[in-house]
Amino acid sequence: MWNYSEKVMDHFLHPRNVGEIEDPDGFGEVGSLACGDALRLTFKLDESKRIKEVKFKTFGCASAIASSSALTELIKGKTLEEAEKITNKDIADYLGGLPEAKTHCSVMGREALIEAIKNYRSGKGKAQGEKKVIEGEVVCKCFGVTEKEILEAIRTNDLHTVEQVTNYTKAGGACGSCHPRIRELIKKVELEEAAKERQGKHMTNLQKIGLIQSVIEGDIRPALLKDRGDIELVDIDGNTVYVRLKGACSSCIAAQYTMKGFVEQTLKEKVSPEIKVEEVK
């Protein structure tokens, strides 16, 4: 039995703004019945472009219903710019908290809102059965969760384990074959955060070398391997990094762009803006 707050139970037993607006200004739909959760959100704007009316329909558990109800209350009267700043954490906080294993319900509510806002701005209007456009690599095929969605959840909610990612996105909650990729994404964000902390701070040579190696192994190599390329760290001299392109990258006509536009730029962003990359044949 989940330990729900009184506010969660109130919004579950007495949900606000249930239904669907005819001829809405914005229409968003996320999830699927096959995955166990689905949410449709519609809204209407007033003359000043504020959300005048919003309604939802959802198929899901108590947390899904309560989160959807809470979201509609939070965005009423707001501009679209104000509404899209609301995070899943704001929804959970409004409800007095959610069980950790149910936090994906608040994420789903925010995703439906973002889709509805995109729909309004695209000028397409409502389309029955319109589905969320998949953006980027699908990491969890069981639940259709993309790399972009997982990275956003990790960054927004400071997640550090596969279990936490599953709680927030459902990714990895079925067959588990995507767990290694989820771990890679967690590591990627941790490296980004470590690099931000070091920006503007003095690093010892050993710290700099270690960070360069981590970024090459954690960010650069996986991206090149996807296109049958590879990279080898040859040497580091001060702020100059010497590398050798391998595989398909070694004979690619875009090798110079890969070297400067991707490898060097990634190291500048994650290690130091003073980094320069040189290719060793």
User: Active-site residue numbers?
Assistant: 35, 105
- Domain assignment present for residue 56? The answer is yes
Q: Give residue-wise pLDDT tens across range 225-235.
A: 988 899 999 99
Q: Which two tokens mark 128?
A: 């029955």
Nearest Cα to 56, choosing from 1, 3, 105, 4?
105
Q: Which two tokens mark 19?
A: 């239904």
Stretch among 59-73, 120-134, 239-253 having the lowest mean pLDDT: 120-134
Half-sphere exposure of 273 (CA within 13 A, CB side): 4
Give the domain range for residue 236: 202-279
Rounded CA Rg of the chain: 22
- Domain assignment present for residue 1? The answer is no
d(CA 119, CA 128): 12
Q: How many domains does the chain have?
A: 3
Output the domain CATH number for residue 15.
3.90.1010.10
Nearest Cα to 61, choosing from 155, 161, 170?
170
More confident residue, 131 or 241: 241
Question: Which residue carries 């109130």 as its tokens?
Answer: 10
Q: Give residue-wise pLDDT tens across range 162-208.
A: 999 998 888 888 788 999 999 999 988 887 777 666 665 677 888 88
Output the domain CATH number for residue 189.
1.10.10.1100
Q: What are the two backbone dihedrals, phi and then psi, of residue 155, each rounded to the nearest 5 degrees?
A: -70, -45
Q: Band the pLDDT of 129: cuts 50, 70, 90.
A: very low
Q: Give residue-wise pLDDT tens across range 37-49.
A: 788 999 999 999 9
> Looking at the whole model, is its pTM more than 0.85?
no
Quick check: 128 pLDDT over 50?
no
d(CA 101, CA 15): 21
